[in-house]
Structure 1
Amino acid sequence: MEDGGVVQLLLSATHGGVGEQKSPLLTSNGEGGGSWSSDDDIGPINGVVDFGREFLIESKRIWCLAAPAMFSYFCQFGLITITQIFAGHLGTVQLAAISVENSIISGFPFALIYGMASALETYCGQAYGAKQYEMLGIYMQRTWLILNAVALAFLPLFLFATPVLRLLGQAPAVSREAGRFAMWMIPEHFAYAMTYPSTKFLQAQSKVVVLALIAAAALCLHASLTWLLVSTLGWGLVGAAVALDASWWFIAVAQFASVVAGSCGEAWSGLSWRAFHDLWKFVKMSLASAMMMSMETWYVFALTLFAGYLEDAEISIDAFSICINVLGWSGMVATGLNIATSVRVSNELGRGQPGRSRLAAVVSGVSSLLTGLLFTIILVASRKQYPAIFSSNEQVQKVVEELTPLLGISIVFSNVQCTLQGVAIGAGWQVRVAYLSVGCYFLLGVPFGTLMAYKFEMGLKGLWCGMVIGLCMQTGQLLWIICIANWNKECLKARERLKQWSEEISGKETS
């Protein structure tokens, strides 16, 4: 095979087996049922040089989206990190309380809200690629309605957090402090429901710089407020909660102002009654997205719960939360690539460009692997130093140091897995991937983790080994789905999906 044969095989969007010569399903004159021009799709790739050229072009496009998105999520993740750093110096109970509240009480509904909002990446991304701009605002308003209803449904979880945590077997002191903290986190809970729809709306249009600026301003505001309320005024956990509430509502209001300011053109034409139409179909797609995106978060919730049953529960939870925090920081890079990949894949499918859709998946996958390896090398090299940033307790620091090698493996697989999920979201594969996620995390990861933690007395290392197993299986299955995907057919599916959505809205307008 010539040197370009493997590359051509990798990028070709055929709909038969290897060696079959099929005509493209999408052509400039509409043959095969297509309705767009594919003139801008990838041309013939005859060697490594051609592949390298296209790879660099796509890399530039992805990183122009990913870099601001990474910065935004770094800043947003920095909000809870700053809170945990201040809490860690208040005491182990306070740090454990914030960790438990963030992982269990806030974590469960947050994962659902964020996951449901991710359906907008498919809806808005493909609509924007197909130049159906007027649909974007309708989709965002539908998501606002749905997510605020979800947030309201989870309100009792915050109001009765202490008895819920005690029922789950958490330590009395930790449950009491976490319950008090949860009561003050209700405003942040509703801020999520307003923030993430507008985030996805702007991301689909590649308006990522404004999101980065808003997130940076929120981080500065949060650092100042936390220092003032916790350290200077001595409000303790209440001060930390108030600072988080204010920071997240600043983000929500600032992003809404950006949407209505007129910079989005036809994508925002004001509030519309059409947002109330066909909500159930939208809910089903949103729930599928939530299942896919939430499995890893709920998996962490389950492992945090099991960590609380180990000996020295406060030490275990503190060490586990620090490792999860570090994993989250590394995941911000993958999240940025996830967003960029979702935007690129959905936009190109909406335009009817199968080759560029697949190339975006290849470029983002390679990029996430390399960044994960780099982050792991840095982490392992500094494993004796970085735990002190999060806790002054020497026992906690030692446990974190021992977990670092497993943490590094998790970072590599988590980065690749998160980025590949962006491909699935852009293509609209949420339902399929959701079922796989349930199997990988809860039928493999949790049983193996608890078995090693308790039966083989490996403690936190055992729980973390279960996480690695779940991540490995999920990553492998996502990679397989992407490799066997027929991208010409995915373009046709995107066209039919957009046609159906447009007809539904048009039908409601005329009735």
Structure 2
Amino acid sequence: MHNRMEEGLLVSETLKVRVWVESKKIWRVAFPSILTRVSAYGILVVTQAFMGHIGETQLAAYALIQIIGIRFANGILFGMSSATETLCGQAFGAGQYHMLGIYLQRSWIIDLTAATLLVPFFVFSGPIFRLLGQDEDIAEDIENISLWFIPILYYFVFSLTIQKYLQGQLKNRIVGWLGAASFVIHVFLSWLFVIKWNWGVPGAMSAMNISCWLMVVGEFAYVFGGWCSETWRGFTKAAFIDLLPVIKLSISSGVMICLEFWYNGVLILVASYMTNATIAISAFSICINIIAWELMISIGFLVAASVRVANELGRGNAEAARFSVKVISITSLCIGLFFAVLCLIFGHSMSYLFTSNEEVAESVSSLSVLLALSILLNSLQPVFSGVAVGAGWQSVVAFITIGCYYIIGVPLGLLLGYVAHLQITGIWTGMICGVVTQTLVLSYIIWRTNWDDQVNNAANHLNRWLLKPSEETNESPTHA
């Protein structure tokens, strides 16, 4: 009996040590990523807050183009850059350091093409939203505001891909500090341009563009300045080799993330056809932006899950990948529970950060329970998506997302919102049902996964796309 007690204590202590060691590895990736995501999304939210003080029509127009247009574009580009995260993370784990720079350049080629294809949507956003039946006043403001978002498309391309490249090699701390600095600069510039100098919409949008591109300049300086000497060997023609399989992975990644990001946008569009649409859009968009800002924390854990799983699969350590998934899931769930409780307590007060309209604030307050539940669910779902990115399951998750969100969530939201006359509450309830279904399906898949098979799959992919250092050098790179 005494020996069994000692063995139990030893196992308990060993587990504590393993959890502590794994937690340090997770937070090494997650904290800078959280800081980056919160700061980057904070720039969009702060801009929305200043738009709300410029006028309610401008707020509604900004909400529509940001949550539908920018969320859609960001979903595609964020998703496509997650292919870079998969490849860089697994290559770094396997010790193929020289391949990271090549994967980064391939992602630039592919993502720049995708961003350019998205530009016409922002150029012709006014006619598109008029065709969808938007009020003329809102459509006119959308037409003006959307053009300011075009530079943001190209900011997404470089910022997201460089972040994935740095995260894969555990060097994303610099990105966190750059993101925080950009956010502080943005708050100051927004106050200066909108409040002090009264430049209105051009002032708010100029502040956003300047702040975002300052971050990209800092990332370029870090990569080209010699801080990534093992993984960045300059520009090379090798970036144009084996583009097709990377394009396939990028497209499946883009579809997976885009379907998730655009889900809320579809529901915002549906809400815009309700009675008193301006109030409905404003209130719902404020709630969605609160969710999305907290989601930036969960995306930090998505990144941590992706990097940890990819690194361990690249190293051939199936057990470490499995254990990491468990620790990340529990950690993210605890944080989500904390923020859900905060929303229940301060649901009414936080609405005044985004609007001075009492009717909008009351509408936001009435949705606080759904807001808290969404935040709790979003603490798990991104982690499971991160596991999928790390293992390279993007195409499978894309099909699951279509079924759960667009076959279950959206139709159910429409039925509850319009047929059952629950309005915004009904639409949001349908959305939550879709998220619950997807989370349950992904958790089952991860639980049933044979991680030894995933190690073999990762090894096969890396070996198929590997260029030896000598082969890369023979391609005559041009050094930055």
TM-score, normalised to structure 2, is 0.94
Whether contact under 8 Å (2:242, 2:465) holds in the other structure is no
1:258 to 217, 222, 225: 222
Structure 2 counterpart of 1:295, one-letter code: L
Aligned equivalent of 2:342, options 356, 370, 378: 378
Deviates more, 1:218-227 or 1:353-362: 218-227
Query: Shift of the alpha carbon at 1:281?
Result: 1.4
Give, in whole Å, the separation in 2 of the partners of 1:48 and 1:172. Answer: 65
Moved more, 231-240 or 153-162: 231-240
After TM superposition, list the pairs within 5 Å mapping 1:280-299 onto structure 2.
280-299=244-263
3-state DSSP of counterpart to 1:154: helix
Deviation at 1:507, TM superposition (A): 7.4
Tell me by how many angstroms 1:46 deviates: 8.0
Q: 1:432 to 1:80 in 2, by over 3 A?
A: same
- Answer yes or no: is the 8 Å Cα contact 1:171–1:308 preserved in 2: no
Q: Is it true that 1:305 corresponds to 2:269 in the alignment?
A: yes
Are 2:466 and 1:495 equivalent residues in the alignment? Answer: no
Match of 2:19 in 1: 55
In structure 1, the partner of 2:376 is 412
Q: Is the 8 A contact 2:97 2:231 kept in 1?
A: yes
1:426 aligns with 2:415: no
In the TM superposition, what is the alpha-carbon distance from 1:229 to its structure 2 partner? 1.5
Contact 1:452 1:458 in 2 (8 A): yes
| Distance apart, 1:225 and its partner CA | 1.4
Counterpart pick for 1:80 among 44, 55, 63:
44
**How many Å separate the matches in 1 of 2:468 and 2:382?**
32
1:384 is displaced (CA, Å) by 2.4
The structure-2 alpha-carbon separation of the partners of 1:405 and 1:119, relative to structure 1 and needing over 3 Å to count, comes to: same
Evaluate the alpha carbon distance shift between residue 111 and residue 504 of structure 1 in structure 2; reply closer, same or farther with a 3 A threshold: farther
Aligned-partner Cα distance in 2 for 1:181–1:477: 39
- Distance in 2, Cα, partners of 1:382 & 1:311: 27
Q: 1:204 aligns with which of 165, 168, 171?
A: 168
> Normalization by structure 1: what TM-score?
0.89
Q: CA deviation at 1:471?
A: 0.7
Q: Does 1:353 align with 2:305?
A: no
CA displacement at 1:50 relative to structure 2: 3.0
Residues 163, 480 of structure 1: CA spacing in aligned structure 2 closer, same or farther, 3 A cutoff? Answer: same
Mapped partners of 2:470, 2:461: distance in 1: 14
Matches of 2:174 and 2:472, distance apart in 1: 34
Equivalences for 1:128-139 in 2 at 5 Å?
128-139=92-103
Output the CA distance in 2 between the equivalents of 1:60 and 1:106.
Answer: 34
Partner of 1:12: none
Structure 2 Cα separation of the partners of residues 146 and 212 of structure 1: 25
* Superposed CA offset, 1:361-395 (max 9, x none): 00111111111111001110112211111111111
Q: For 1:322 and 1:141, locate their aligned partners in 2 and report how far apart those are by CA, in whole Å.
A: 37
Identity level (%): 38
The residue that corresponds to 1:315 in the other structure is 279
Stretch deviating more after TM superposition (336-345 or 101-110)? 101-110
Counterpart check, 1:193 vs 2:149: no
Is residue 160 from structure 1 mapped to residue 110 from structure 2 by the alignment?
no
Given the superposition, is the C-alpha separation of residues 45 and 307 from structure 1 closer, same or farther in structure 2, using an over 3 Å criterion?
Answer: farther
The residue aligned with 1:69 is 33
Q: Which residue of 2 aligns with 1:25?
A: none
Give, in whole Å, the separation in 2 of the partners of 1:503 and 1:275: 10
Q: Distance in 2 between matches of 1:322 and 1:315?
A: 11
Aligned with 2:53 (options 84, 89, 109): 89
The alpha-carbon deviation at position 249 of structure 1 amounts to: 1.2
Match of 1:36 in 2: none
Please tell me the residue identity of whatever aligns with 1:271.
Answer: F
Does the 8 Å CA contact 1:69/1:208 hold for their aligned counterparts? Answer: yes
Shift of 1:506: 7.8
In structure 1, give the amino acid aligned to 2:101. Answer: G
Q: 2:81 maps to which residue?
A: 117
CA distance in 2, matches of 1:276, 1:45: 55
| Structure 1: distance between partners of 2:429 and 2:387 | 27
Q: What does 1:222-241 align with in structure 2 at a 5 Å threshold?
A: 222-241=186-205
**For each residue in 1:250-277, what CA deviation from the matched residue of structure 2 results, as whole angstroms up to 9, or x when unmatched?**
1111111111111112200000111112
Note the C-alpha offset of 1:489.
Answer: 1.2
Query: Is the 2:99–2:467 Cα contact (8 Å) retained in structure 1?
Result: no
Number of the residue aligned with 2:206:
242
The residue aligned with 1:270 is 234
Q: Structure 1 residue 201: deviation in Å? A: 0.5
| Equivalent residue number for residue 478 of structure 2 | none
Maintained 8 Å contact 1:45/1:51: no
Are the aligned partners of 1:277 and 1:508 in contact in 2 as well (CA < 8 Å)? Answer: no
Q: 2:141 aligns with which of 177, 184, 187?
A: 177
- SS state of the match for residue 391, structure 1? coil
Q: Does the alignment pair 1:457 with 2:421?
A: yes
Alignment of 1:359-370 (within 5 A): 359-370=323-334
The alignment yields a C-alpha RMSD, in angstroms, of 1.8
C-alpha separation in 2, matches of 1:273 and 1:192: 24
Cα distance change, pair 445–213 in 1 and its aligned pair in 2 (3 A): same
Deviation string for 1:199-228 (max 9, x for gaps)?
100111111210011111111221121112
The answer on whether the counterparts of 2:236 and 2:472 sit within 8 Å (CA) in structure 1 is no
**What per-residue deviation string (whole Å, max 9, x for no partner) do you get for residues 269-319 of structure 1?**
000111112222111100111111121211111101001001110000000
Q: Post-superposition shift, 1:53?
A: 2.7
Residues 162 and 175, structure 1, Cα contact 8 Å, conserved in 2? yes
Measured in 2, the distance between the counterparts of 1:227 and 1:333 equals 26
The question of whether the paired residues in 2 share the 8 Å contact of 1:65 and 1:340 is answered with: yes
Question: In 1, distance between residues paired with 2:326 and 2:10?
Answer: 17
Aligned equivalent of 1:38: none
- Amino acid corresponding to residue 394 of structure 2 in structure 1: Q
Query: What is the DSSP-based 3-state SS (H/G/I as helix, E as strand, rest coil) of the residue aligned with 1:170?
Result: coil
Shift of the 458–106 alpha-carbon distance from structure 1 to 2, 3 Å rule, reads: same
Query: 1:408 Cα shift?
Result: 0.8
Q: Which residue of 2 aligns with 1:476?
A: 440
Give ranges in structure 1 of 5+ residues lacking alignment: 5-43
Aligned length: 469
Give 1:107 shift: 2.2
Partner of 1:7: none
The whole-number CA distance in structure 2 between the counterparts of 1:351 and 1:230 is 51
Q: Is the 8 A contact 2:351 2:365 kept in 1?
A: yes
Q: Displacement of 1:504 after TM fit?
A: 9.3
Out of 87, 100, 108, the position equivalent to 1:144 is: 108
Aligned twin of 1:107: 71
Q: Displacement, 1:510?
A: 7.5
The residue identity in structure 2 corresponding to 1:417 is: Q
